[in-house]
Amino acid sequence: MDTLATIEATAPLGVQLIADLRNRIVSGRLQPGTRLSEQEIAAAYGLSRQPVRETFIKLAAENLVEIRPQRGTFVCKIDMNDVTQGQFVREAVEADIARIAADRADAAAVAHLRGLIAEQRRAKGGAGFFALDERFHQALAAAAGRGGVWAHIQQIKMQMDRVRHLTAEEFPTDHLIDQHEAIVEAIAAGDATAAEAAIRTHLRGVLADLQKVARLLPHCFEPG
């Protein structure tokens, strides 16, 4: 296993390890079912095995890895129930964010959101789109004066993000960008009802694709 792309001298290695492994799992670079070697990871990151063991415990609490006694630690397959519950909570939070943004977002915030949409169109999908999508939703929260909520949403949506990364090659991003545009134009018009409806439609797209993705990639999902 390769090491961290960049090691920050000021941040504890253990903290960087959990962030990096979490990102690898959510992005699909570590596929569901992959066995994680405590010894190999410790060697790759220049750590003892104890912080790696602690990292596994933390990731297990997030339903990202499964620790099987006497057998090893494995990347969890995606549980559809976790996806649907995460989507339900995220939708409720971001629907309120959209309504508030429609009431209070200023011209600068709207211009920033439109600029992010323009960047998304230029990116034409791929890995870069996910970073831009994150920035867009974070900017929505900031436009509503709820920027601090984004850290909580990150935890809620990890299983959703795993599905979205799996669908990156199967489903084009053009329709997602069009949905982003509909959200922003409703906010710009000060139409809270339309903004809420637009973001609910947008976030429910993951559920619409879920069954199809599970059929295409059954090895990535828990059976049933």
Cα→Cα distances 96→20, 76, 152, Å: 31, 31, 14
In angstroms, the CA 185 to CA 203 distance is 17
Give the lowest-confidence range in 14-28, 108-122, 163-177: 163-177
Q: How confident is the model at residue 172 (pLDDT cuts 50, 70, 90)?
A: confident
Q: What is the dihedral of CA 133, 151, 14, 220, to 10 degrees?
A: -50
CB 58 within 8 A of CB 18: yes
Mean pLDDT of 172-179: 90
Of 62, 49, 60, nearest in space to 14 by CA = 49
- Taking 90 as the threshold, does the pLDDT of residue 23 lie above it? yes
H helical segments located in the chain: 13-27, 38-45, 49-61, 80-104, 107-123, 127-143, 150-156, 158-166, 174-188, 192-203, 205-216
Strands 35-36 and 65-68: unpaired
Whether 13-75 and 80-220 share one fold: the answer is no
When the candidates are 1.20.58.110, 1.10.286.10, 3.40.50.720, 1.10.10.10, the CATH number that belongs to 13-75 is 1.10.10.10
- Write the CATH number of the domain with boundaries 80-220: 1.20.120.530
> What pLDDT sits at residue 1?
63
pLDDT of residue 71: 92
Q: Per-residue pLDDT averaged across 62-79, rounded?
A: 95
Share of the chain above pLDDT 90, in %: 72
Q: What are phi and psi of 223, to 5 degrees?
A: -65, 140
Q: Report the mean per-residue pLDDT for the chain.
A: 91
Residue predicted with more confidence, 166 or 196: 196
pLDDT band at residue 144 using 50, 70 and 90 as cut-offs? very high
Question: What pLDDT, on the 0 to 100 scale, is given for residue 50?
Answer: 93
Calculate the CA 205 to chain-centre distance.
Answer: 14
- pLDDT at residue 145 is higher than 70: yes
Residue 65, class by beta-carbon neighbours within 10 Å (0-12 exposed, 13-18 middle, 19+ buried)?
Answer: buried
Phi-psi region of 3 (alpha: psi -120 to 50; beta: other; left: phi over 0): beta
Q: What is the pLDDT of residues 123-138, one digit of tens each?
A: 876 667 889 999 999 9
pLDDT at 3: 56
Count CB-CB contacts under 10 A for residue 193.
11
Give the start-to-end residue ranges of the domains of the chain.
13-75, 80-220
Pairwise CA distance, residues 53 & 2, whole Å:
18
Cβ–Cβ under 8 Å, residues 89 and 156: yes
Residue 224: what pLDDT?
A: 63
